[in-house]
Structure 1
Amino acid sequence: MPSIVPSPAEATLFFVPVVVLVATSLWVSQNAAARGHGFPDLLGALVAFVPVGLVAYLLFFVSGSSRRRPPSRTERAALAVMLAGVSSYAGGAFTLPPDPFTQGRWLIVAFVALLPVSYVVVYRRGHRVVTRPVRRQIRARIGHE
């Protein structure tokens, strides 16, 4: 008789997506509240159930409104978890074999390994270390520097 308790590989197939989904919903809700949206919690819940909602939120609402307050600790933590989750999925898609059980085992390892990296990018603004030299190179090639 099969057990209803999932194996560790099966559990990771559900753990990381659920954590990333909750973090994404929380980040959208906090970000929308900081930008003055009328219903930020509804928008966060909508993004959890409509995957295209995050893309629509980023394209239409974020670009059209400015922040009224700086990001909170909760918003930054949710963004760091979301970034680590998306990066682990992208890395797994390009480096692991297309076997779902192998990806399930290594997805949690990649997620945990990428959490400190996403912390540096979100909290310590490590993205500026990467983007400044790239901007200089682009401006030098265009001739604006």
Structure 2
Amino acid sequence: MKHPTALLIKFFLVTGVLWVMLGIFFDVSFWNVITLSVILTLVSFFGDVYILPRIGTILGVIGDFALALLLIWMIGAYFFTDSINWSMAALSSAIVIALAEIFFHRMMAEKVRRKAYPNPSSRLQTESGKEFDFSKSKKDV
């Protein structure tokens, strides 16, 4: 699986969560849900591809939660005219997105990053050697 397939999976995942959380529970229009989905998917997929391999799944999920919370709240409150409580809508949507991201990150680790991004920590080696004391001169030794 390559990046375009993973991007489509993430888009459908985010769209499904936002459609259920915002469309059904908060009565947000479908086009506003699609707009939020496209923006959130593109921004967070960039983080999944470039940042997630370096920070790990737990911090990645926390970052996706914060990103979803801020983007949904800011875009919804300032650009859409729906008169709903955008802070509560963003919080509930971000929680569900973060839970779904756990499975998406696992899929990314197994299917996408395994070949493209090898784990750099598996190549680390321990170095040992004799320490030199440069404070002593040749006369003291």
Same fold (TM over 0.5): no
Larger Rg computed on CA atoms: 2
Report TM bin, short chain. Answer: 0.3 to 0.5
TM-score by length of 1: 0.36
